[in-house]
């Protein structure tokens, strides 16, 4: 009698696991479509990806990227991590170089079920690190409300200016920080 109960529990567990993985695979196939499966799966699964690429003059392990919406570190110690939720609204990220915030960047997502593949390319130009963010996939590939915010420091490491940049890196506002 007890053996039958254990078999039933094991069978329920196996069926549950198979249903979970089956739903996850199906949800990944329809992840950018407006459906009930997508709405539910966007709560439980993180299908967004983030990749950081640097030129040969930079060391990948010197960088850290934080998802500002959740506070989750999505890139550190040279490795990508999960942690980009599917939220409606601004998706904001912070780029740190040797524990000093260099940039804040982001865009606006018009639906909470849209997923994105982010690639952040960093190049060292004239002794400055220049970012270039590409959003590779998703229904909302336009750069709606896209921006960069650049943090500039003096020789002693004190923040003295925040520059607000467009997608094309044109400055549209500067905030000077007084000492």
pLDDT digits (tens, 9 = 90+) for 41-92: 666 667 788 899 999 889 999 999 999 988 899 999 988 888 888 778 888 9
pLDDT digits (tens, 9 = 90+) for 29-53: 666 666 666 666 666 667 788 899 9
Q: Is residue 108 part of a domain?
A: yes
With a pLDDT cut of 90, the percent of the chain lying above it is: 21
Q: Which domain holds residue 133?
A: 47-176
pTM, two decimal places = 0.77
**CA-CA distance, 87 to 47, in Å (whole number)?**
12
pLDDT at 95: 96
Rg of the chain, C-alpha, whole Å: 21
pLDDT at 102 over 60: yes
CA angle 64, 68, 72 (to 5 degrees): 60
Q: Is residue 170 part of a domain?
A: yes
For residue 8, give every residue at least 6 positions away whose Cβ sits within 8 Å of its Cβ, in sequence order, or none: none
Q: Is residue 152 part of a domain?
A: yes
**CB 119 within 8 Å of CB 103:** no
The pair of three-digit structure tokens given for residue 40, joined into one six-digit string:
């539910």
The pair of three-digit structure tokens given for residue 118, joined into one six-digit string:
């982010």
With a pLDDT cut of 70, the percent of the chain lying above it is: 78
Tell me the pLDDT band of 94, cut-offs 50, 70 and 90. Answer: very high
Q: Is residue 1 part of a domain?
A: no
In the chain, how many domains are there? 1
Q: What is the DSSP string of 56-92?
A: TTS-GGGEEEEETTTTEEEEETTEE-------SEEEE
Helices (H), the chain: 2-29, 36-44
Q: Is residue 127 part of a domain?
A: yes
100-109 sheet: strands from edge to edge: 79-80, 72-76, 63-67, 89-97, 100-109, 147-153, 159-165, 171-176
Q: Is residue 102 part of a domain?
A: yes
């Amino acid at each position: 009698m007890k053996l039958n109960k254990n078999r039933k529990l094991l069978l329920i567990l196996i069926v549950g696991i198979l249903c979970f993985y089956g739903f996850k695979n199906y949800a990944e196939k329809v992840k950018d479509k407006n459906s009930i499966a997508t709405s539910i799966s966007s709560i439980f699964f993180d299908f967004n990806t983030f990749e950081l690429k640097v030129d040969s003059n930079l060391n990948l392990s010197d960088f850290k990227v934080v998802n500002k919406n959740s506070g989750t570190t999505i890139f550190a110690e040279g490795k990508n991590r999960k942690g980009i939720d599917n939220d409606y609204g601004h998706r904001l990220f912070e780029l740190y170089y040797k524990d000093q915030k260099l940039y804040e960047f982001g865009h606006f997502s018009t639906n909470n079920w849209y997923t994105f593949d982010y690639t952040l390319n960093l190049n060292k130009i004239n002794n400055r690190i220049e970012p270039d963010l590409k959003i590779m996939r998703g229904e909302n590939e336009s750069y709606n409300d896209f921006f960069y915010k650049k943090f500039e420091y003096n020789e002693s490491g004190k923040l003295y200016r925040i520059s607000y940049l467009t997608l094309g890196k044109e400055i549209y506002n500067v905030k000077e920080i007084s000492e």
